[in-house]
Structure 1
Amino acid sequence: MNKTEISAVIPVYNDRKSLETAIPVSIETLSKISDSFELIIAEDGSTDKSRELVLEWEKKDSRVKLLHSDERLGRGNALNRAFSSAKGEIVCYYDVDLATDMKHLKELIDSIRNGADFATGSRLMPKSDIVRTRDREIASRGYNFLVRLFLRSSLHDHQCGFKAFNKEKLLSLLPSVSATHWFWDTEVLVRGQHSGYKISEFPVHWRTGEGTTVRFKDVFSMGTDILKLWWKLR
């Protein structure tokens, strides 16, 4: 049996409308990058028939795979579950709204092909091209400043939903990662740096998606999580 090179994961929670675009665009983009890939839709307790849409795609294309949960797992847990079941030697994920331009997917995958352990897109590097509200820009820059200050990270942007990993390296790190929701991205990148992993960060073209589910309470929670992780790493 041929090995699967890439497992691309899209975490989904009540995102049927975005999925209608994300699935065909993903297949088209991945087909240009590799002859061996799978597209895993990590559908996390949706009630808007997202699951039914993915099942329809499964029948049309065997590379599309549904990973359904009846209960809401949270972003981090959903990603952990998807990556643990993935067959690819390289695993990646991106947000269902395709906020990061998919033209960057090859660069993301090539970063791992070329020896990086983890790779991430960045909205906060000098050459990044982003459009979002002033309030979200201030909050993002403030959050990432605190991550760099308290958690000794050298990266610019920890929360961009556009990341790839050497699966073996990621799976060896996951037992130490306790975040179950939005802080998962930050904890993985910080723990990866503390473990000596090679992490590639590059600027991306990014636009605010219509269906973002980040709320003020999530931002506050992640701020608290920074302090918790700082204490653990001490």
Structure 2
Amino acid sequence: MISVVIPVHNEERSVALLYDELAAAFAGDGRAWEAVFVDDGSTDGTFGALTRLHDAQDNVRVVRLRRNFGKAAALDAGFGEASGEIVVTIDGDLQDDPAEVPRLLAKLDEGYDLVSGWKTKRRDPITRRVPSKVFNAVAGKVSGVKLHDMNCGLKAYRAEVVEGMQIYGELHRYIPVLAHYRGYRVTELPVNHRPREHGRSNYGVERYVRGFLDLLTVTFMGRYRHRPLHLFGGLGLLFSLLGTAILCYLTVVKLLGNAIGQRPLLLLGVLLVVVGIQLLSLGLISELITSHHEERTGGADRAARLVDEVLR
């Protein structure tokens, strides 16, 4: 079973066309599939169109959110309703080409857990293409996951990748990063991208700003969630050593008979030492909280989630 999760917002004219294209793409595949549409608080006739499609097709499921919560919440709701062993996500605006889905599934069969689409020839205005290139470059540098198109809506996953994954805010952009940090095999595949024919884009520059802040969250949670002292302790040691070096230098200056009471460097040295000690203390407290949480939730369960396979 393959579950295709489709978040939609004001896409009344697109949903039926998208289903027909998906049906054509799966026609020669032979595997059962379902379409899980998530209406993210549409204000046009999208839900009515989805209702008619649901009545006409046996493999269509519809989830309606109370209001527009954003793409991350829509995907999270769709993942919760999907019943397939493989989950495919695709945007509802018809810019992603459903004919590419079999290629993504074939790539999964090569042993990958997540295959992300890469829009090599993106059919969007330059005002979206340029910020997206900058964003993807920064995201790859910060997260360590080198993908050309982190935010492509066309992706294929093994269901276990998204099970239990908490997606909120703008974290849907970083599902490949979250999967990578959890040990899953991630790759990308060039896919066809088409110009928008219906509706209008809901993305603005402010989403890139929020997305960058969420990138910091994802990177911290992925790299330092179970070892916070490595981050806070490292910064604390660095600041403390710099502050100590400055104070040692000023001590020598003082012993040579020079006044240091009015020098800004003295204040900087004291400040660095104090901040360094605070960061070290914060790291130790975070380690205690993390250790306590692991004891309560069960370290064995977490270890089981990290296991890929066992040969006995």
- Give TM class, smaller chain: 0.7 to 0.9
**Equivalent residue of 2:3, what SS?**
strand
Give the Cα–Cα distance (whole angstroms) in 1 for the partners of residues 121 and 49 of structure 2.
32
User: Which position in structure 2 is the counterpart of 1:10?
Assistant: 6
1:75 to 71, 93, 96: 71
**2:149 paired with 1:149:** no
**2:39 paired with 1:47:** no
**2:187 paired with 1:200:** yes
**Equivalent residue of 2:74, what SS?**
helix
Gaps of 5+ in 1: none
Letter in 2 for 1:193: H
Letter in 1 for 2:7: P
Higher relative contact order (CA 8 A, sep 6+): 1
User: Which position in structure 1 is the counterpart of 2:171?
Assistant: 183
1:115 Cα offset (Å): 2.2
2:161 to 163, 169, 182: 169
Q: Is the 8 A contact 1:121 1:203 kept in 2?
A: yes
Q: Is the 8 A contact 2:2 2:84 kept in 1?
A: yes
User: Which position in structure 1 is the counterpart of 2:284?
Assistant: none
Matched residues, number: 221
Gaps of 5+ in 2: 225-312
User: Which position in structure 1 is the counterpart of 2:254?
Assistant: none
User: Which position in structure 1 is the counterpart of 2:125?
Assistant: 133
Q: Identify, as 1 or 2, the structure richer in strand.
A: 1
Give the Cα–Cα distance (whole angstroms) in 1 for the partners of residues 73 and 115 of structure 2.
20
Give the Cα–Cα distance (whole angstroms) in 2 for the partners of residues 88 and 31 of structure 1.
17
1:204 Cα offset (Å): 1.4
Q: Is the 8 A contact 2:173 2:211 kept in 1?
A: no
Give the Cα–Cα distance (whole angstroms) in 1 for the partners of residues 24 and 205 of structure 2.
35
Task: Evaluate the alpha carbon distance shift between residue 146 and residue 165 of structure 1 in structure 2; reply closer, same or farther with a 3 A threshold.
Answer: same
1:181 Cα offset (Å): 4.2
Give the Cα–Cα distance (whole angstroms) in 2 for the partners of residues 134 and 150 of structure 1.
24
Letter in 2 for 1:180: Y
CA RMSD after TM alignment: 1.8
Give the Cα–Cα distance (whole angstroms) in 1 for the partners of residues 30 and 87 of structure 2.
13
Deviations 1:153-202 (A, max 9, x none): 12221001101110023214x0xx4x42443132x111211222111201
Task: Evaluate the alpha carbon distance shift between residue 107 and residue 50 of structure 1 in structure 2; reply closer, same or farther with a 3 A threshold.
Answer: same
Task: Evaluate the alpha carbon distance shift between residue 189 and residue 131 of structure 1 in structure 2; reply closer, same or farther with a 3 A threshold.
Answer: same
User: Which position in structure 1 is the counterpart of 2:196?
Assistant: 209
User: Which position in structure 1 is the counterpart of 2:151?
Assistant: 159
**2:77 paired with 1:90:** no
Give the Cα–Cα distance (whole angstroms) in 2 for the partners of residues 29 and 105 of structure 1.
7
Q: Identify, as 1 or 2, the structure richer in helix.
A: 2
**2:58 paired with 1:62:** yes
User: Which position in structure 1 is the counterpart of 2:292?
Assistant: none
Letter in 2 for 1:198: R
Q: Is the 8 A contact 2:6 2:78 kept in 1?
A: no
Higher alpha-carbon Rg: 2
1:32 Cα offset (Å): 2.8
